[in-house]
Amino acid sequence: MSFPLCGHIPRLTYFQHVVKREQFFQYESVQIEWLVFAVEDGSFYYEIEDHCATASFGDLVFCPPGVNFKRVVIAPVTLFVLRMGWGDDQGNELDPLRLDRVPVGKVSLHDTERLLDDYAAMKRHHYLDERWSMIGRSHCLHHIWLMYCEQAEQLPSAEAPGSLDPLIRKATVLMQSQAFERFSLNALAASLGVSRAQLCQKFHAELGTTPIKYVTALRLEKAKKLLVETNLTLDQISECCGYQNGFYLSRVFKNNCGVTPKQYRLEHRL
């Protein structure tokens, strides 16, 4: 039986809450532990090995030890800096060779309400002594990690888990992880060992939509959240959602949602 993602238990060793930082003190760094930047507000661009993208609210950026992590602030950023090791449910440190399923680069969590609850809890623990605050924050980090595990190992669908073709199940998991970066349907099909035409045909038969429309729906859902919950410009939001620029995002948004991003922001902000 393969070792599940949820069997990887993060152990927090360092915590910092950075507020409205206009630039990072270091443009690049190499850590001896796993490092996660969890974005609460604003955005930044990063490069980790061959992974590069813009991260914003709802995104976690994972960097493994011994790897150069380059980053530049795009919009004044508020985030949690988390360093950690990995253990199993018996309290044993995990062999680095068993960490191949831990993501590198950006993951975008869909359940931002639960994420905000964990962020609020991590800030509340500031008032405790260091020892106890680390225990509380470790619990929050573990909960955030489990949210990712649930998202990565299951489809966010009313379909019964066993009702989808395994190929399409794997495709949707990959699409959810790649949707907000430079996405290539040809590369996705190749990684699954099928042609683009075969993937599109099977995807439509299983889910009643095309892969491109599926990715577009993921991107627009994130764009809506960023429009309502942040002050990012349209160009900044487009970078966070995998689009070339704000003009292109605006056109896709209007075609699919019936209103412009500006109208959506005005109508849905409280």
User: Sorting pLDDT into bands at 50, 70 and 90, what band is 182?
Assistant: confident
The pLDDT score that the predictor gives to residue 189 is 95
The pLDDT score that the predictor gives to residue 129 is 63
Average of per-residue pLDDT across 206-217: 92
Alpha-helical regions (H) of the chain: 112-124, 130-153, 166-178, 185-192, 196-207, 211-229, 234-241, 246-257, 261-268
Q: Tell whether the model's pLDDT for residue 63 goes beyond 70.
A: yes
Could you read off the pLDDT of 136-146 as tens digits, one per residue?
A: 899 999 999 99
Backbone angles phi, psi at 244, to 5 degrees: -70, -40
Q: Cβ distance 177 to 152 under 8 Å?
A: yes
Task: Read off the pTM.
Answer: 0.74
CA 56 to chain centre: 9
**In the chain, what percentage of residues exceed pLDDT 70?**
92
The pLDDT score that the predictor gives to residue 223 is 93
Distance between CA 237 and CA 261 in Å, rounded?
Answer: 10
CATH 1.10.10.60 assigned to domain 166-268? The reply is yes
Q: Cβ distance 65 to 103 under 8 Å?
A: no
Residue-range domain boundaries for the chain: 5-153, 166-268
Backbone angles phi, psi at 82, to 5 degrees: -125, 125
Could you read off the pLDDT of 106-130 as tens digits, one per residue?
A: 999 988 889 999 999 999 876 656 6
The pLDDT score that the predictor gives to residue 2 is 59
Q: Cβ distance 147 to 140 under 8 Å?
A: no
Distance between CA 134 and CA 163 in Å, rounded?
Answer: 42
Q: Tell whether the model's pLDDT for residue 49 goes beyond 50.
A: yes
Q: Which residue matches tokens 């004044």?
A: 76
Q: Tell whether the model's pLDDT for residue 77 goes beyond 90.
A: yes
The neighbouring-strand residues paired with 10 are: 86
Using CA atoms, how far residue 77 sits from 15, 37, 74, 95, 187, in Å, is: 16, 11, 8, 34, 32
Distance between CA 79 and CA 69 in Å, rounded?
Answer: 16
CA atoms lying within 13 Å on the CB side of residue 93: 6
CA 74 to chain centre: 17
Q: Tell whether the model's pLDDT for residue 160 goes beyond 60.
A: no
Q: Cβ distance 213 to 200 under 8 Å?
A: no
Domain formed by 5-153, architecture: Sandwich (2.60)
